[in-house]
Amino acid sequence: MQKHFIMDLQNNYSRSGNSNFLTSNYSELGLEASQESLIVHPQNSTPPIQIPLTSSSACHVDPRFKDKVWRENIYEIKQNDLNSYNIPSLKTKKLNIIIDLESMIYKIHPKVSHNQETIQAEIKRLRNQYHQCFKSIYFSAGSVYYIIAIRHNLDSFLRSLNQKAILHLITKISDNYLHEILKAVDPYWNYFQGRVHHSKSAERSLSELGLESNDTLIIDTNIGHWRMEDQGNVIQSMKYIPCPQEHSEYENSSKYQELVKSYTYFKGLTVVDEKKLFIDKEDQFPCILKIVSKIHKARFLWFYTKGVSELFQILKSQVLKGKSIFFLCGNEEAIDVKIEVYRAIVESLGGTVIGSSCEADYIISDENASTIPGKFKKSEWLISKFFKLI
């Protein structure tokens, strides 16, 4: 998919008529020579790396630094070291990534107590039954202990993101509680120091947070949290529920309407669907990291002339590009609405919904998913592609 992603970017760029970008018009030998010069040249050198051109005039910085193929190759070889060279055209720029604290990072367990021993006993039970993500926090304002669950592999995820992005948090929590939660989430201020934003408005806005839309990605569970102009920047996250069977608020499936709002938002639909499909199974973080890495690379290849929203939408459109989908569903009461939801997903991923099962590449059917292996898929397969873009 990476290859198609870059090809689509090149086609879009060529159609734009932008003449500042040099296409691959140098011999492979010449490109290899300039790459080798960069690779073996000592870092932190002054003046910048200079390579003689065919002209007998003075040396100049090799214009092949602007060649897409050359930049792609050198990015793969030296991406972690490029900024150590004194070459402005090879500097990599970090993204801004803003993460919703409440829905992305942690979840408060319903159990609260003024007694520390009671809370510790409950934490022991939860850890034994589920995993080690549970810990207690103490709020002095109410002299009460809470249990929170930190999302699995969070620190590793944030550490990887931090290599390519400046990280921000956004939250509605008041300062009295926020301080204690942040001590559990980022105890040494490795990621969010000085970049915690409070937002109590119904719709959040990047401009109000002082962030540029062109270089900012948003990780949130609900695209509806953001104004229309920023919604193309949202990487949709699956809901984090550490032990849903113990949360009464999730027993009623109607509570899950909000979880599908992300891909029904523009159509104004509401749907009740299987709640299990919208809960993170601890494998979405690696997918988000891949998305961020691809966008970080694409920005470098295209001289930072394309905004992250455009790059993200091109990336999404590659998931089912050229694939046709047919929906084979039963006579359920809300089936028409569900098909519209699935249609919106398919279209956002670059696929096409058709009316013939014979000509379809995939058939979505929760009842007959094993009839023809490889062709019949459950709706969970489609929704998983929406979240993970794989």
Residue 372 pLDDT greater than 70, yes or no: no
Inside any domain, residue 57: yes
* Residue after which a domain boundary falls, among 59, 74, 92: 92
Inside any domain, residue 360: yes
pLDDT at 52 (0 to 100): 35
- 27 pLDDT band (50/70/90 cuts)? very low
**Percentage of residues in the chain with pLDDT exceeding 70?**
68
Inside any domain, residue 49: yes
- The number of residues making up the chain comes to 390
According to the per-residue pLDDT averaged within each range, which of 3-7, 15-19, 122-126, 171-175 is highest? 122-126
- 1 pLDDT band (50/70/90 cuts)? low
According to the per-residue pLDDT averaged within each range, which of 44-48, 71-75, 152-156, 235-239 is highest? 152-156
- 268 pLDDT band (50/70/90 cuts)? very low
* Residue after which a domain boundary falls, among 92, 114, 145: 92
- Overall domain count for the chain: 2
pLDDT at 25 (0 to 100): 40
Inside any domain, residue 154: no
Query: For residue range 214-252, what is the model confidence (pLDDT) as tens digits?
Result: 999 999 887 888 998 999 999 988 777 777 666 555 444
Cβ atoms within 10 Å of 78's Cβ, excluding its own: 18
pLDDT at 32 (0 to 100): 55
Q: Looking at per-residue confidence, does 289 or 36 come out higher?
A: 289
C-alpha 118/C-alpha 14 separation (Å) is 65
Residue 167 pLDDT greater than 50, yes or no: yes
Residue 134 pLDDT greater than 80, yes or no: yes
Residue 254 pLDDT greater than 60, yes or no: no
Inside any domain, residue 340: yes
**Report field, pTM of the whole predicted structure over 0.95:** no
Inside any domain, residue 82: yes
- What residues have CB less than 8 Å from 113, skipping those under 6 apart? 119, 122, 144, 145
pLDDT at 282 (0 to 100): 62
152-161, 290-299, 343-352, 370-379: segment of lowest average pLDDT: 370-379
pLDDT at 168 (0 to 100): 97
What phi and psi values does residue 46 have, to the nearest 5 degrees? -135, 125
* Residue after which a domain boundary falls, among 70, 92, 114: 92
Inside any domain, residue 261: no
* Residue 364 domain boundaries: 317-388
Inside any domain, residue 5: no
Residue 210 pLDDT greater than 90, yes or no: yes
**Percentage of residues in the chain with pLDDT exceeding 90?**
29
Q: Domain of 329: which CATH number?
A: 3.40.50.10190
Residue 89 pLDDT greater than 70, yes or no: yes
